[in-house]
Structure 1
Amino acid sequence: SMIVGGLAKMRAKAKQKKQDQGLGIESLDGAMMSFAQGLHQLPQVVAQQLGAAVQLNTQVDSLSFSAEFGYQVCSGDQIWQASQVVLAIPAAQVARLIDDLQPLDAELHSRAQDCLQQVDYSPVASISMAFNKQQISHPLNGFGCLLPTKEAKQTLGVLFPSSIFANRCPDDQHLLTVFIGGGRGAEAMTLTPDQRLQLVVQELAGYLGIQGQPLWHEESLWPHAIPQYKLGHLPKVALVDEALAQFPGLHLRSNWRDGVALGDCVENAYQLAQDIGARPL
């Protein structure tokens, strides 16, 4: 049941927290954090530490497995062999890559691919805006706010980066980061970037007391941003796990399973890395 599963997850997290404390690792549960140059520093530093082991801008064309040679990962003329493979990619790309595997149960494998293809991703636009402080009457004395569905807005929520972190903008300005779209904001995705900007300013003006236009703005648009955990999603994930259980050393880590938030992805990846590292070569 969901209750039993939730309790098991809580016990596992408590055990992991105790182990981390024994290693001198400080827990960040509930902490609001970032990096001096933004969250993109995290993958950049990881890539720097891994060095030449990281192949950037390299699309994987196929994945195959044999008991004799393990996994073969192909990209153009390049081929890598490995005993462990982690697919940290969107669900539809998992469905594509496992197509060349030779399953014992072809029907179950095909059903798993169908489940992966059915994972729906909603588009989201992130719009950063800077205002002079006198343009906003609200003190912005918090981390931000979410707009519930009953408000009937296309805007999902807004963060106040300049209130949370230092050196995000000049002292006489406010920096806002707005998210629009998602499962309920399909209409906003049909607009131009300028139209989305005006819609966001209009929808937030009544809550924050915004006057005038932003001094600066920038939009980032993700057509396939947030996987939707709709009713029946967890049984589909379980079926995928069942279908791929026959392939030793094949792991799935992504935001379409086990949590969509960045913190969930980092925590799950860290745990998997520990598990793989503890296994004998």
Structure 2
Amino acid sequence: MVESPSSAAPSSLKPSRQFQSRARLVVIGGGISGTSAAWTAAREAVKQELDVETLLLEKETVLGGKASAIREDGWLFETGPLGYLDNEPIVDELVRGVGLEEERVPASDASSHRFVFLDGRLKEVASHPVRFLASGLLSPRALLRAACEPFVRTKRDGLDESVWDFAARRLGRDVADRLIHPMVLGIFAGDAKRLSLPSAFPIMAELERDHGSLIRAQLARSRARRRGTLPPRRSSLFSFRDGLETLPRRLSERGSFETRTACVVLTVTRREEGFLVVLEGGASIPADSVIVASEGFSAASLLADAAPDVSQALAEISYPPVYVIALGYGAEAKRSIPRGFGALIPRGAGFRSLGVTWDGHLFPGHNAEDGLLVRVLLGGTFDPEIAKLDENAAAAIAEGEMQRLFALSVAPRFLRARLWRQAIPQYELGHGARVQLVDEALARTPGLFLAGNALHGTAFGKAAARGVACGERAIVWLAGRAPKK
């Protein structure tokens, strides 16, 4: 249920005192993590017959956070994440819980074709070994070095390691430079030499730790799947007919909690019994428990009083700017743009673009009639100056680079841009220690929980899973304090 601030004035909220009235849980942030937390907490409270009021506060006028779509003239422009992978079962549970199974849309088989711009042209990163060897992505010498990966000594010192250093150590510098560096740019808009491998790609660290080699790990997993001792690999891309924002909004519509949009939280303070959530305009809401599910930089400001150590740790996380530009072309573009997921563009290739996603190939419902929608990403760690450009200037860069990449001679029929001034949290070296510090500080602040994507995974599914976990933990914590119904 969504209410505007005027429909329930803050003055109507009486103090929530343990053992005297129903408990109150306040969730701050209406993206996928916050709505998942509120949905889960409300359901868990009912299951445990706890008298808990769950209230979600969102500063914007609509829910969704970076899961935000623009529908115009038949085009569907995802201004943030394009979809989610089905390797996070929690998302499937949420989808079923709010009855969205029929709205879910799988990506087409084009998603299996991915490209990188190398040596002046697009080259497909083939999954089949023979096609990969023949693709020209790597020189014979680089291929030979990568093939030696099973014989590389396993790292056992427990120290942090960058994504680039890990790839160079195990697979060689050519693989790290030509494949891993652009991949990290496409996922994090960040620098592979600064991002922490165990934090950004924990599965890679796990494979080396458990098997001593990435190649041996993949062979062992393949054997286990054939024997049925390991479930089939799940990595398919999904969205919804009206975009990713559908899920957080449906969670609010179907959830047994109150949602207030256009409600700006200034700070969270501790008091003798719980917390006080201070709103813009001077009003405040007492709470027994609080889940902060906003962006890390926002959470840092909100928690300066209630959890200063958490606040400081979150404030240290970098969020580079990213421009997302949508270009909708006519049918003629389909002759020039390969059918696939998209293309990564390494630094030094002569383009400002981090990469291009071919949304219309992946999700044909994003196209207007006889059209093809693509998105260009600009900015990131290596190009923070992009944030100084207005939307027209950024769109002009994207259009020009599309013309160069694909020899397009026609202008797009649809052109829109969205700047995220603080886009994706960077899990840089030392991130694991930061997570541990935050966990220890939260343990000293009973009733306070941190959701969102600042610490435990940037993807849509990871943020949802973190929200669900925090919703469950909040109800467990309240269980001994809230009166039974």
Residue identity opposite 2:367 in structure 1: C
Whether the 8 Å contact between 1:154 and 1:184 is mirrored in structure 2 is no
Task: Tell me, yes or no, if structure 1 residue 242 matches structure 2 residue 440.
Answer: yes
Superposed CA deviations along residues 201-237 of structure 1, whole A, max 9, x for unmatched, are 2223333332221111111111111122222233223
What SS is found at the alignment partner of 1:39? Answer: coil
Task: Tell me, yes or no, if structure 1 residue 81 matches structure 2 residue 287.
Answer: yes
Any stretches of 5+ residues in structure 1 without a counterpart?
Answer: 12-26, 104-108
Residue identity opposite 2:242 in structure 1: Q
The answer for the alignment partner of 1:211 in structure 2 is 409
The answer for the alignment partner of 1:127 in structure 2 is 325
CA separation of 1:4 and 1:184: change in aligned 2, threshold 3 A: closer
CA separation of 1:277 and 1:245: change in aligned 2, threshold 3 A: closer
The answer for the alignment partner of 2:338 in structure 1 is 140
The answer for the alignment partner of 2:355 in structure 1 is 157
Residue identity opposite 1:95 in structure 2: A
What SS is found at the alignment partner of 1:247? Answer: coil
Structure 2 length as normaliser, TM-score? 0.48
Deviation at residue 153 of structure 1 after TM alignment:
2.5
What SS is found at the alignment partner of 1:180? Answer: strand
Query: Structure 1 vs Structure 2: percent identity of aligned residues?
Result: 26
Q: How does 1:95-106 map to 2 (within 5 A)?
A: 95-101=300-306
Superposed CA deviations along residues 104-149 of structure 1, whole A, max 9, x for unmatched, are xxxxx45x43332222111111111111121453343112222222
Give the CA RMSD over aligned residues: 3.0
What SS is found at the alignment partner of 1:33? Answer: strand
Residue identity opposite 1:189 in structure 2: A
Deviation at residue 28 of structure 1 after TM alignment:
9.7
- Which one is further off, 146-155 or 213-222? 146-155
Task: Tell me, yes or no, if structure 1 residue 267 matches structure 2 residue 468.
Answer: no
Q: Which has the larger radius of gyration?
A: 2
Any stretches of 5+ residues in structure 2 without a counterpart?
Answer: 1-157, 159-197, 211-231, 481-485
What SS is found at the alignment partner of 1:151? Answer: coil
Residue identity opposite 1:74 in structure 2: V
The answer for the alignment partner of 1:30 in structure 2 is 235
The answer for the alignment partner of 2:269 in structure 1 is 64
Q: Matches of 1:124 and 1:4 in 2, distance apart?
A: 26
The answer for the alignment partner of 1:18 in structure 2 is none
Superposed CA deviations along residues 8-51 of structure 1, whole A, max 9, x for unmatched, are 9x99xxxxxxxxxxxxxxx9941211111111212211221236
Superposed CA deviations along residues 136-171 of structure 1, whole A, max 9, x for unmatched, are 533431122222224242211222221112322234
Structure 1 length as normaliser, TM-score? 0.79
The answer for the alignment partner of 1:94 in structure 2 is 299
CA separation of 1:52 and 1:38: change in aligned 2, threshold 3 A: same
Q: Which has the higher contact order (CA 8 A, sep 6+)?
A: 2
Deviation at residue 278 of structure 1 after TM alignment:
5.3
CA separation of 1:187 and 1:211: change in aligned 2, threshold 3 A: farther
